[in-house]
Chains A and B, each alone.
Chain A
Amino acid sequence: MTGTGSSGPNRRSFLALVGAGTAAVAGAASLTACSDGGGGGSTTAGNAQATDKLTGLLPKYTAYDGVKPDLIGENGAAPGFTKYPTQLTRAVAEPPVKSGKEVTAMTPLWAPAPPGLGSNSYYAANNERIGAGVRFNIVNGIDYGDKLGPLLAAGNIPELLCIPGWNIGGLTRFGQAVDKLFEDLTPHLAGDKVSPYPMLANLPTAAWAYAVWNNQLKAVPFPSDGIPWLLYYRKDLMDKAGAQPPKTIADLEALGKQMTDAKRKQWAFGSIADEVQRAYGVPGGWRKDSSGKLINKIETPEFEEAVAFVRKTFQNGWVHPEVVANASADQKPLFEGGQVVIRQDGTGTWGETLQRQQAVNPSFKMDAVLPFAHDGGTPIVWSGDPAGIFTFVKKGLPADRIAELLGVLNYTAAPFGTEENQLYNYGVEGKHYTRQPSGAPKLTPLGQKEIAPTYIFLGGRPLAITTSEYPGYVESMSAMQNAIAKVREKNLFEGIRVEQPAKFAALAQPFDDKIQDIYRGRRPMSDLKVAVKEWQTKGGDAGREFFAKVLSDNGR
């Protein structure tokens, strides 16, 4: 009875706002798809890319050796930099946009809105190196999907359009949109054709493979580390209690008892379900049994063990009540406030938390648990997407304009340690930022006002672990990533972009509801079998056939 108009917040953006969208989508995808961390694409029909035609489409990899890391990343782990370089390398000699014609672009924004082109000296400094102004249409990251849908339907798109992977799931028939609206980059970048763009040639091949739609190279990818979860713990609180990080599920159980003290408002666990599943050896998506039949993660005996364990943590009161009440509650304040000791989250959380807590709580210490198996044996780690965000070029532009636009993306692909990277991240030294004793840039008031992460959403650059101002962070993260890279699960669908059918995707939520009921004791453990059966008959078996066909089409 509010009497207000119909301009309320849209549902999808609401979920993103409370953080539920990402968790729900990621959880749903890991449940059903091939560890498609971002939710993958979905159409009512579903389709998949044939992998073995890929090789001819992708740019030839040529490493850029202008900047040397301190810690090597092997098997796909990111390299680490234990200090900020004092000398920056210039990677792009000439401004790429020779015509000087303004470039239009649309990107999500994860920061306060900056002043626009013409009243922003940070933009001006970058645009000078690009050779033309980049006119950003920036949209709040949580609302981005809502704007993308109508924009794509109307075909009303800028020259460069950034589309994050997690938005693709809600865009119906994305494959058709890609065909209709975006330029095929294969003739411009495949094989040696990438050589005019050395920064693009420096992007990992696995990430490029993920930018293929309908057998055409369609986008410049934003590489990601492909690590869905880390299990974080409050090192300071564990040290105080004389507790060690867990190496087995039995250790984790003991910690549940030891670290929970409800009277002092401290609980051992936040969300840990995915990490428990991983520890029991549940696959990230599908696996083949001995007869070659595809088995979904939820159908495995390991999954049942994991559910039983998580149920036990709930029943024993080891899980924070706010997490019990809201599976997608914002657990960061709880963890940082010491109310939750152990919780899972993405890799980005680590640095973000340190950044926030370092200033206010000197005794704050956090670390991540090295991946362990439930019995102390060899663990697995799920492999996530090798690229999470994509930048598309509008279809139908003249070839020389496309070359200019790829030049812009080449500029924004310059890696850590280059002048360009420093400029598009922090602006001009002395003006937008100064250097702290650690070498880390610190924004000036002007920098805080003008700088927003905009250029970084145009294309991507190789990942690097760089924030060495947090003592020990780069070393820990580098060790973690190298350890994970060694035990990474072989994904059956690696390099294949699968758009799962909508009906199959829709199975995820009803199943997850039942699991949440079992965790919280509203259903008996025996209901798991019923839920799995229901999942199978309602479309899980059809999904199995769909995915099996994808594999056989690709000769796997």
Chain B
Amino acid sequence: MTSPNLTIPSRLARRRAATAENQRPAWEEPPSVPGRLSKGVILGLVVLAVTFPLYVVVVTSLSSTEAVTRAGGLVVVPRELTLSAYVQLLSGGVVTKALMVSMGVTVIGTLFSLVITVLAAYGLSRPGSLLHRPLLFVVLLTFLFGPGIIPSYLLVSSFGLIDSYASLILPTAISAFNLIVMRSFFMGIPGELIDSARVDGASEFGILTRIVMPLSKAVVAVVGLFYAVSYWNAFFNALLYLNDNNKWPLQLVLRTYIVQAQQLPAGAGGIVTSPGMNLAPAPTLAIKMAIVVIAVLPVLLAYPFIQRHFTKGVIIGAVKG
């Protein structure tokens, strides 16, 4: 790592790298037959182990009450597929609004979390900087000790945040895990790059945006994914802090579908909430599986965009040893 030639990879260089990786580089020896075979078998098994249950989930979500009854649970062999579970979930009066709320909270929350996490991760990643050890310790401790539900509720309520969307973001905006992982990636960036930028008179913020960020797309994408997934799937803050049902996010609305057509707990003693109402044309199990699919779908759609940043050799051309 002596006298690094400091250039940030151009778009062109990256594209060249991406096309190049389809072929085996000239310097790499041809793979051995047993090696390829075992690799294929292992990866094949991984794919099978993941896709078969997924298939079961999807088929069950598309099944009628009769099919679920006949299977006595999850459905493996599809028969008379129907969209009724999805129709029922998405045609409810409040689902569209809830979908907007969820998307808004996920986008705004993820951006907010990501920005302050990147800032802090960089702020704590410079060796020897003032107070960085105690501050890092403050972050690390949150990983080990957490607040109870009641004190958190009292706090949010005393700030007047009940029934505000901010209550879905602020209390869980920072994950110590994400911050520490990101900091570790930042520390892996060659110190020479940063030092020489500083010599050139760049500010810390300038170093972060012009040197560190372009080299850290992979970890930013991963941490962004982690944050987005936790915002998208979260319902507990909404459950506690939102009294107004019109403000509910999607996950909380979907949870109300799980309990429909279920009887009350044993203590209720024969109380039936909806005698003979025929509320649920789709079987509960199909609804539950459809909810799983709805939870996964946005990730499935977003993942390719995140994956793009995992391209091999981001630093290509950046450091020529």
Q: Which residues of chain A in 136-161 are interfacial with respect to chain B, using CB atoms and an 8 Å cutoff?
A: 136-143, 146-147, 149-151, 153-154, 156
Interface stretch among A184-192, A253-261, A346-354, A509-517?
A: A346-354
In Å, the complex CA distance between A448 and B236 comes to: 27
Q: Which of B88, B173, B260, B267 contacts A38 (CB 8 A)?
A: B267
A109-B256, A348-B272, A356-B261 known; A334 and B72 CB under 8 Å? yes
- CB of A149 within 8 A of CB of B149, answer yes
B 268-302 to A, binary, CB cutoff 8 A, 1 in contact else 0:
11111111111110010100000000000000000
Q: Does A111 contact B (CB under 8 A)?
A: yes
**Which residue of B has the minimal Cβ distance to A338?**
B72
Q: Does B223 contact A (CB under 8 A)?
A: yes
Q: Within the complex, what minimum Cβ distance (angstroms) separates B171 from chain A?
A: 8
- CB of A166 within 8 A of CB of B268, answer yes
Q: Does B216 contact A (CB under 8 A)?
A: no
- CB of B269 within 8 A of CB of A388, answer yes
Q: Does A501 contact B (CB under 8 A)?
A: no
- CB of A114 within 8 A of CB of B93, answer yes
- CB of B265 within 8 A of CB of A224, answer no
- CB of B258 within 8 A of CB of A142, answer yes
A119-B93, A224-B268 known; A150 and B146 CB under 8 Å? no
Q: Within the complex, what minimum Cβ distance (angstroms) separates B141 from chain A?
A: 14
- CB of B65 within 8 A of CB of A356, answer yes
**Which chain A positions have C-beta within 8 A of B94?**
113-116
- CB of A346 within 8 A of CB of B150, answer no
Interface stretch among B6-14, B121-129, B238-246?
A: B238-246
Interface stretch among B46-54, B175-183, B206-214?
A: B175-183
- CB of A449 within 8 A of CB of B245, answer no
A333-B73, A347-B269, A348-B263 known; A8 and B223 CB under 8 Å? no
Q: Does A543 contact B (CB under 8 A)?
A: no
Q: Does B68 contact A (CB under 8 A)?
A: yes
Q: Does A6 contact B (CB under 8 A)?
A: yes
Interface stretch among B15-23, B186-194, B195-203, B247-255?
A: B247-255
Q: Does A228 contact B (CB under 8 A)?
A: yes
Chain B contributes a number of interface residues (CB within 8 A of A) equal to 76
In Å, the complex CA distance between A7 and B244 comes to: 20
In Å, the complex CA distance between A351 and B154 comes to: 42
Q: Does B313 contact A (CB under 8 A)?
A: no
Q: Which of B69, B173, B178, B269 contacts A360 (CB 8 A)?
A: B69
- CB of A116 within 8 A of CB of B245, answer yes
Chain A contributes a number of interface residues (CB within 8 A of B) equal to 99
Q: Within the complex, what minimum Cβ distance (angstroms) separates B299 from chain A?
A: 12
**Which chain A positions have C-beta within 8 A of B99?**
none
Q: Does A410 contact B (CB under 8 A)?
A: no
Interface stretch among B28-36, B37-45, B132-140, B226-234?
A: B226-234
In Å, the complex CA distance between A330 and B226 comes to: 32
Q: Does B153 contact A (CB under 8 A)?
A: yes
- CB of A165 within 8 A of CB of B267, answer yes
Q: Within the complex, what minimum Cβ distance (angstroms) separates A321 from chain B?
A: 12
**Which residue of A has the minimal Cβ distance to B180?**
A3
- CB of A226 within 8 A of CB of B269, answer yes
**Which chain A positions have C-beta within 8 A of B246?**
116
**Which chain A positions have C-beta within 8 A of B278?**
355, 442-443
- CB of B172 within 8 A of CB of A5, answer yes
A347-B269, A348-B271 known; A142 and B276 CB under 8 Å? no
Q: Does A2 contact B (CB under 8 A)?
A: yes
The 4 A-B residue pairs whose C-beta atoms are closest, nearest first, are A38-B267, A224-B269, A337-B72, A150-B153
